């Protein structure tokens, strides 16, 4: 049920004239409980700026706003204030699936209407919103006589930091987010040192900038995270870092092909520029600011998709024990032909898929992802010419799509479609209609997409406006055909799932797959305790947890850098409405830990962050929708630690039967990762429990309500 309160009521705010000496005109907007205040200023030469106070202290110092265009003068100064209007909003909306059922969207707003004093008197409005968990603002470009569109060469939005904060950052790569996080002071950020990274099929880091969300902690313990909300028909924003003045400035991802950053028809507005502000690290995870700054659900009833756990023909390819390709040859007419020379290592066979379907059905998992089912994989990575190579309709000769979707349906399981585009989005767009109709006709309601490689056409980047629009086109096509999208190598999440809930999940970080590739590329134990407070603030993550065979015997040079108990904890710590059990079915045989994956929920009534420090540890408890069952996951970095937990969120007077999955006393992510102790325990609201986590370890608890 959506409870809408009053629509925005605008009232006129008297412009406050500060002391006559500076002649600065200001407007101000304070959050509902008074935690965060945004001040807008227009100097006497008409230059706009803003600053932000948090609990009485300046948290963002005076920062400039503005734009540069192709063939038009910049918009940076020379404005007069036409009006400043205040308003507020307070509504509670329901997530069709999510970390919690209801979200309160409560803010105060200031709309500043600026116009150039001199001809052509262009109008620019800036809308500021102040929330108790942070702030957001966006630019609203007004219609202009005789001008249809604007070409933006750069946006100049500044965030003046008030100290040399500790920062968790990845470089401002225009092509990929799959970097490890660095922890440094702002003054030490050196994104250019992250160039030439191994194992990235495309990477472009043009300047000393970071990607968002980027999270910081001030020396007095305030936590900040910078990001954007509702990235629509615009370029992704990186933040350029001035290590001396400690200032961040928007750096939009460009198009070398088109020679600009953004082209838009007037009128339009930019995405929201956001700063989440919290007194603890955990409150950053609680914040729903990014979602609240997006528009309400435009799809209406989306019950054709349900959150699910899934398995898939996937890990065996990353372990290199099977292949995506079948071994076909492309003839002179560009058609794939089976020369009878197939190498026999193809993973996506009808028989192998049935094995996964059987496993899923037996263990209560709803989805089976099949990668490598369609023709084209012979010319996937490392080929310059990739247009027209992948075909999203034609299966390999040993894969019977029709039979398998029926076989799955009979067992209550659904195939998850896979479309690797090899970063040739034009080829994909040509086939979108037929490919999605095919899914619809087979009752397939989700697809994992992929964009590995350098983009074609040359000069475009994954995070530029052209690709932002491509990803949106795919999302809308999915909505039309009742298909949820799980994009890999995606554009970052900016809360679009509120408007289009079929944006079910995405990658957009260094996922589990890196652990399979080589020792150097493996994710260190601090990776996920950083991800929970950075990437995860943007939205659901398809990380693909659940490796049980941690030492990867088929790849002696690689190993997962967590314990088995931590792999279980990830089902709760990392939020996604689709959660993979990514290991091979045979590796789950006779493993008592599998019970946790069978039990754990994927859709939640509420989520509570019980503890956490960025880069060190985090524990989250989530209550499942429908059953009321609770699941708790806690993870640590490379340091062993003890965690004291209380359960005051449980109901009064009830005794709960729970199962605790924890690291054995001698567990260690390197030398003894699979040592796990599983205990049945009783819990009440008053229980206090101290749990020891190994180096790189974790724990998981399932609290299944009796009789339900």
**CB-wise, 488 or 622, nearer to Ca ion?**
488
Q: CB of residue 314 vs ligand NOJ: minimum separation in angstroms?
A: 6
d(CA 265, CA 138): 17
In three state form, how does the secondary structure of 133-192 look? CEEEEEEEECCECCECEEEEEEECCEEEECCCCEEEECECCCCCCCCCCEEEEHHHCCHH
Taking the complex as a whole, the smallest distance from the CB of residue 317 to ligand NOJ amounts, in Å, to 6
Q: Which of Ca ion, ligand NOJ, none does 450 bind, CB closer than 5 to 8 A by kind?
A: ligand NOJ
CB atoms closer than 10 angstroms to residue 603: 19
> Taking CB within 5 to 8 Å according to partner kind, which of Ca ion, ligand NOJ, none is near residue 633?
none
Is residue 359 close enough to count as binding ligand NOJ by CB under 6 A?
no
Closest to 218 in 3D by CA, of 102, 62, 85, 58: 58
Which CB atom, from 37 or from 513, has the smaller least distance to ligand NOJ? 513
So which residues are the catalytic ones?
Answer: 513
Instruction: Name the binder of 41 from Ca ion, ligand NOJ, none, CB < 5-8 A by kind.
Output: none
Choice between 247 and 488, CB closer to Ca ion: 488
Residue 141 or 314 with smaller CB distance to ligand NOJ: 314
Q: What's the min distance (Å) between Cβ of 544 and Ca ion?
A: 10
Residue 450 binds ligand NOJ (CB under 6 A): yes
Cis peptide before 473 (omega within 30 of 0): no
Q: Which member of 452, 689, 692, 704 binds ligand NOJ (CB under 6 A)? A: 452
CB of 323 to ligand NOJ, least distance (A): 11
The residue count for binding ligand NOJ (CB under 6 A) is: 8
- What's the closest the beta carbon of residue 180 comes to Ca ion, in angstroms? 14
314 touches which of Ca ion, ligand NOJ, none (CB within 5 to 8 A by kind)?
A: ligand NOJ
If you write DSSP's letter for every residue of 578-630 in order, what string do you get? EEE--S-HHHHTT-TTHHHHHH--SSEEEEEEEEEETTTEEEEEEEETTT--E
* Candidate list 115, 414, 507, 549; residue touching ligand NOJ; CB under 6 A: 507
CB of 496 to ligand NOJ, least distance (A): 20
- Could you say which residues in the range 443-502 bind Ca ion, by CB under 5 A? 488
In the complex with ligand NOJ, the residue whose CB is nearer, 371 or 605, is 371
Report the Cα–Cα distance between both ends of the chain, in Å, rounded. 25
In 230-340 the beta strands, taken as DSSP E runs, fall at 237-242, 247-252, 262-265, 268-269, 272-278, 308-313, 329-330, 336-337
Using CB under 6 A, which residues numbered 362 to 401 contact ligand NOJ? 371
Which member of 179, 240, 463, 488 binds ligand NOJ (CB under 6 A)?
A: 488
Partner touching 371 among ligand NOJ, Ca ion, none, CB below 5 to 8 Å by kind: ligand NOJ
Q: Does 325 bind ligand NOJ (CB under 6 A)?
A: no
**Window 104-163: residues binding Ca ion (CB under 5 A):** none
The residue among 223 and 488 lying less far from ligand NOJ, judged by its C-beta, is 488
> Which 531-560 positions form the footprint of ligand NOJ (CB under 6 A)?
none
Contact between 583 and ligand NOJ by CB under 6 A: the answer reads no
CA quadruple 644, 649, 652, 653: dihedral sign: negative
- Say which entry of Ca ion, ligand NOJ, none residue 109 contacts (CB below 5 to 8 A, set by partner kind): none
Q: How far is the CB of 507 from ligand NOJ (least distance, A)?
A: 5
CA 57 to mean position of chain CA atoms: 30
Looking at the Cβ atoms of 418 and 488, the one nearer to Ca ion is 488
Between 199 and 331, name the residue whose CB sits nearer to ligand NOJ.
199
Residue 377: DSSP 8-state: G
Cis ω on the peptide bond leading into residue 120 (within 30° of 0)? Answer: yes
Helix, strand, coil % (nearest 5) of the chain?
Answer: 15, 35, 50
The CA distances from residue 511 to 93, 494, 528, in Å, are 31, 19, 10
Closest approach, Cβ 378 to ligand NOJ, in A, equals: 14
What order do you get walking across the sheet with 57-64 strand by strand? 16-17, 25-30, 36-42, 48-54, 57-64, 158-161, 247-252, 237-242, 209-210
- Residue 287: both structure tokens together: 């914040």
Q: Which is nearer to ligand NOJ, 383 or 649 (CB)?
A: 383
Is 49:65 a contact under the CB 8 Å cutoff? yes
Report how far apart, in Å, the C-alpha atoms of 255 and of each of 374, 463, 561 are.
31, 10, 37
513 contributes a contact to ligand NOJ by CB under 6 A = yes
Tokens of 448: 């994992």
| Interacting residue with ligand NOJ among 159, 314, 407, 656 (CB under 6 A) | 314
Cα 247 from chain centroid? Answer: 25
Residues within window 420-439 making contact with ligand NOJ, judged by CB under 6 A: 420
Total site size for Ca ion, rule CB under 5 A: 1
**Closer residue to Ca ion in complex, CB, 115/542:** 542
158 touches which of ligand NOJ, Ca ion, none (CB within 5 to 8 A by kind)? none
Cβ atoms within 10 Å of 71's Cβ, excluding its own: 7
Give the shortest CB-306-to-ligand NOJ separation in angstroms.
22
What's 89-111 look like in SS3?
A: EEEEEECCCCCCCEEEEEEEEEE
Structure tokens at 598: 């069978």
Site for ligand NOJ contains 510 (CB under 6 A): no
Q: Give the HSE-up count for residue 32: Cα atoms under 13 Å, Cβ half-sphere.
A: 11
Question: What are the residues facing 370 on neighbouring strands?
Answer: 313
Site for Ca ion in 335-354 (CB under 5 A): none
Return residues touching ligand NOJ (CB under 6 A): 314, 371, 420, 450, 452, 488, 507, 513
Return residues touching Ca ion (CB under 5 A): 488
């Amino acid at each position: 049920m959506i409870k809408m309160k009053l629509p925005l009521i605008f009232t006129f705010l008297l412009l406050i004239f500060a002391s006559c000496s500076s002649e600065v005109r200001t407007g101000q907007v304070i959050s509902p409980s008074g935690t965060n205040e945004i001040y807008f200023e227009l100097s006497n030469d008409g230059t706009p700026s803003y600053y932000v106070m948090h609990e009485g202290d300046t948290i963002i110092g005076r920062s400039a706003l503005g734009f540069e265009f192709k063939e038009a003068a910049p918009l940076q100064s020379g404005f007069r204030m036409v009006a400043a209007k205040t308003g507020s909003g307070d509504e509670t909306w329901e997530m069709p699936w999510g970390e919690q059922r209801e979200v309160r969207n409560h803010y105060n707003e200031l709309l500043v209407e600026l116009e150039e004093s001199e001809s052509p008197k262009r109008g620019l409005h800036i809308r500021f919103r102040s929330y108790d968990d942070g702030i957001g603002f966006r630019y609203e470009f007004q219609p202009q006589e005789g001008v249809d569109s604007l070409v933006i060469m750069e946006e100049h939005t500044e965030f003046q930091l008030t100290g040399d904060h500790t920062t968790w950052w990845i470089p401002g790569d225009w092509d990929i987010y799959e970097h490890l996080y660095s922890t440094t002071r702002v003054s030490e950020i050196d994104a250019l040192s992250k160039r030439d990274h191994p194992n990235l099929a495309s990477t472009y880091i043009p300047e000393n900038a970071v990607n968002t969300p980027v999270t910081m902690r001030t020396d007095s313990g305030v936590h900040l995270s910078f990001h954007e909300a509702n990235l629509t028909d615009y370029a992704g924003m990186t933040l350029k870092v001035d290590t001396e003045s400690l200032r961040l400035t928007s750096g939009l991802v460009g198009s070398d092909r088109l020679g600009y950053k953004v082209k838009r028809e007037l009128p339009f507005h930019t995405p929201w520029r956001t700063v989440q502000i919290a007194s603890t690290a955990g409150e950053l995870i609680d914040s729903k600011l990014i979602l609240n700054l997006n528009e309400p659900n435009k799809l209406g009833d989306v019950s054709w998709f349900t959150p699910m756990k899934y398995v898939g023909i996937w890990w065996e390819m990353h372990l290199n024990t099977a292949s995506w390709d079948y071994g076909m040859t492309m003839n002179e007419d560009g058609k794939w032909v089976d020369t009878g020379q197939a190498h026999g290592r193809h993973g996506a066979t009808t028989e192998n898929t049935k094995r996964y379907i059987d496993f899923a059905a037996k263990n209560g998992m709803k989805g089976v992802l099949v990668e490598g089912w369609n023709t084209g994989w012979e010319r996937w990575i490392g080929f310059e010419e990739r247009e027209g190579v992948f075909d999203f309709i034609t299966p390999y000769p040993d894969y019977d799509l029709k039979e398998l979707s029926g076989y799955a349906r009979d067992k209550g399981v659904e195939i998850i479609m896979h479309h690797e585009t090899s970063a040739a989005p034009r080829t994909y767009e040509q086939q979108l209609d037929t490919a999605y109709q095919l899914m619809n006709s087979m009752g397939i309601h989700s697809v994992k997409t992929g964009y590995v490689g350098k983009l074609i056409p040359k000069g475009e980047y994954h995070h530029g406006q052209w690709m932002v629009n491509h990803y949106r086109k795919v999302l809308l096509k999915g909505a039309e055909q009742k298909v949820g999208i799980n994009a890999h190598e995606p554009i970052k999440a900016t809360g679009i799932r509120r408007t289009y809930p079929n944006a079910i999940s995405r990658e957009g970080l260094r996922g589990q797959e890196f652990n399979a590739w080589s020792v150097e590329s493996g994710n260190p134990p601090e990776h996920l305790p950083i991800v929970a407070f950075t990437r995860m603030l943007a939205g659901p993550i398809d990380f693909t947890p659940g490796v049980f065979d941690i030492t990867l015997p088929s790849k002696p040079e690689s190993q997962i850098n967590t314990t088995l108990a931590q792999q279980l904890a990830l089902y709760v710590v990392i939020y996604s409405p689709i959660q993979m059990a990514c290991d091979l079915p045979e590796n789950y045989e006779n493993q008592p830990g599998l019970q946790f994956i069978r039990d754990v929920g994927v859709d939640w009534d509420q989520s509570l962050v019980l503890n956490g420090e960025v880069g060190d540890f985090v524990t989250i408890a989530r209550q499942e929708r429908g059953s009321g069952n609770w699941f708790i996951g806690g993870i640590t970095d490379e340091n062993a630690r003890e965690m004291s937990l209380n359960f005051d969120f449980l109901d009064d007077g009830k005794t709960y039967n729970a199962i605790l999955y924890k690291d054995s006393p001698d567990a260690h992510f390197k030398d003894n990762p699979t040592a796990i102790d599983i205990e049945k325990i009783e819990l009440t609201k008053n229980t206090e429990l101290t749990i020891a986590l190994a180096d790189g370890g974790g724990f998981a608890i399932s609290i299944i309500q009796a009789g339900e």
